[in-house]
Structure 1
Amino acid sequence: MTDTTPRTTRRTVLGLTGAGIATALAGCLGETTIPAQSSNGNGNGGQSARTYRVTVANLTRGQPFTPPVVVAHKASIELFAVGDPASDAIREIAENGNLGPLGELAESATDVRGAAIGETPLVPTELPASEMFPDWTTLELETDASGGFLSFVSMLIGTNDGFTGLDTVPLPDRVNESRSYFASSYDAGTEMNTELYEDMVPPAQALYGIDGGVDGTGMSNPDLAEDGVITPHSGITGDGDLDPAIYGWDDPAALVQVERIA
C-alpha cells in the first residue's frame, strides 16, 4: 500500500459515501434525538424525565468511527454480547455503517427509552481528516427512570466488520453524578477480514487521505459472509491495504463519559 499526499476535504469525505454509510451519515449530519418511549402499561409511565450528557471520545490512533449512537434502555435490552451472533442491527453497523436498523429498534422497542445519534464521524488527530472532523463529541440523551442503562455503538470505519461499543452499563442516578466507561473493539463475525479498500465502506479511503483506486462498498458482500460470533477484535494484521503501524489500535478504543444533568 502506498499513501498519497493527503488532500482531504469535507466535500471529499462526504462525497465518497456509499449506500450503507450514506444512510448513517444522512441521519447524523444534524444531531438526532429520539424521545423517551411512552408508557407501556407496566407502571413506568409518569416517572420523571431524565437528561444525560454523553461524551464519546475516539482513543485510537488510526481508526475513524461512524457517528456514535447511544441508547438508554431497560436491563432487558442487550445490543450485543461476546460469543453470541450479531443481530441484524449490529451487523449493519459493523459492516456498512448503516444505523437504520438500530434506529428502527430504538423507535419500536418499548424497553428502549431514548436514543441520540452524533453529527459527524470521530477521527483520530493523527489522520488527515481530523482537520475536518473531531475526535470526540457530546450528545444529549433523554430518558426516564425506567431506562437506567446505557449502550453505545460505532463502526470502526477502516475494517470489514469491526465496531466499538458498550452494552448495558448503568446510567448515573443522581443529578450531577457522572460515570466513565472504556469501550473495547469487537469483530462482528459476519464478514471475513480482507482489510482491502474494495471491501470497506468508501469513506475509509477519504478519511485516511488515500486514493486506493477502488470505490469500496456500502453493501454486504455474500461472498465474504462469515457465520461467526462476536469476538474481541484482533486489530489490523497487515494482510490487506492497511499498515498496522499507522492504522492499527490498542484497546480501549473509546472513552464514554456520561453525566446526569438537571
Structure 2
Amino acid sequence: MPIRLIATDMDGTLLRSDHRTISPRTREAFARARAEGIDVLAISGRQPYSIGAIVADSPLDGSVVGSNGSVAMNTLTREILFEETLSVHAQRAIVEGILRVYPGVKVSSARQAGDVYVTQHGYAGMEDPGAEVSRWAVSHRRADLEEVLAEPSVKLALLDLDVPSEALLELARELAVPGAGPTTSGAPFLEVGKEGISKATALARFAHDRGYSADEVVAFGDNNNDVEMLAWAGHSVAMANAVPAAMEVSDEVTATNDEDGVAQVIERLLG
C-alpha cells in the first residue's frame, strides 16, 4: 500500500544527540515527503511547547503529539486536538506504592496540555522546564506532594537520581495500579500517563481521523515508549541506537540518529 503518513519519535530518533538539531538532510527528506502528499507527524514524550520549539519552520511544524500520546496539538494555532489525563486516584496510588520502596522519589505533574507544571520541592533538575526549549510561555511552580497530586496530569514524572528509571519502571509494572500506564524514554525518570494511552493509541487516532490505515503508516522510534507505536505501524523502523525491545518489534533497523537514519529510510522509501 502507499505511504500516507510518516510518524517519528524525537529524542534518539529524529534529533541529533544534542536533543535539539534536525539535520539538513532529515529536513529535506521530510520536505520531500510532504511535497509528495504524505502527512508527517512528530510524536514524543516531550510536551507540545517543547516539540513546537524544535520543529518550528520545519516540515514537521503543525500537528504534533506529546506526553507519550496523551496530548495532540497544532503548534501553529495551539488548538488542542485531544488530551487524555491520569486520574488523581491513579497517580496517588502509584506514587504511594513507589514511595514505600523508594522513599527518596520526588514527583512532577504536567497539566493543561503540558503547559503547566507543578513540581515537588526537592525534585532535581527542573528549575524552569520552559526556559531552554519553549515555543510559548510555560507555567511552573514548586509545591508539596499533596498539591502536586491534587489535579489530573497528562504526564507524571517520578525521579530519584540514586534509582535508575528502569528500576522504577519494573516496580511500577509490579504494582499494576489500575488507571496508570508507566513507561520510560531514556530520561532519568519514570513517566506515567493514563493506562491504555500510548504513542500507538495516539498515532492510531491521528491516522483514523484522516482516513489512513495502519498499513499506510511508517513509524520511527528508539525507546521503550515507542514499542507499542512500532508494533502498530504498517512499517516500523528502529534506530541502531534503539533499546532491544524497540528493535524486536520493528520491521527494520536503520542507522543511528546521528547518522541520519530516519532520512536514509525516507529517501529509500520515496525512491
Point out the structure with the larger helix share. 2
**Superposition TM-score, scaled by structure 1 size:** 0.24
Per chain length, whose mean CA-contact separation is higher, i.e. which structure has more relative contact order (CA < 8 Å, sep 6+)? Answer: 1
| TM-score, reference length from structure 2 | 0.23
